[in-house]
Amino acid sequence: MHIVVIAWLYVTVLMALTETSIVAGVLTLVFYGLLPTMLLLWLFGGSARRRALRMPKEETPANSCADQEKPGH
């Protein structure tokens, strides 16, 4: 999916460079490039976010031993 995002941003940057004014170029880049890309990544990244929230934090043996040796716990 990342190659699609890179290609889309490449196309929109080239579109923005061909605009007649700087304002039109910036608006083209933002509304045709950045906002749709962020929406796409947010929508397709939802399952990964939910999976990360469901997984319990894994403790390594070094961390669990270090927590037991700290005074005041």
Q: Which residue in this structure is represented by tokens 């005041």?
A: 72
Q: Is 11 inside any structural domain?
A: yes
Cα distance between the two ends of the chain: 46
Which range of residues forms the domain containing residue 21? 2-53
Identify whether 27 is part of a domain: yes
* CB contact at 8 A, 26 and 16: yes
Per residue of the chain (73 residues), give pLDDT as tens. Answer: 789 899 999 999 999 999 999 999 999 999 999 999 999 888 888 887 788 888 876 655 555 555 555 566 5
Residue 67 in any domain: the answer is no
How many domains are there within the chain? 1
The confidence score (pLDDT) of residue 22 equals 96
Cβ proximity of 28 and 15 under 8 Å: yes
pTM for the predicted model, two decimal places: 0.62
pLDDT for position 34:
95
Given this model, what pLDDT does residue 45 score? Answer: 84
Would residue 68 count as lying in a domain? no
Does 16 fall in a domain?
yes
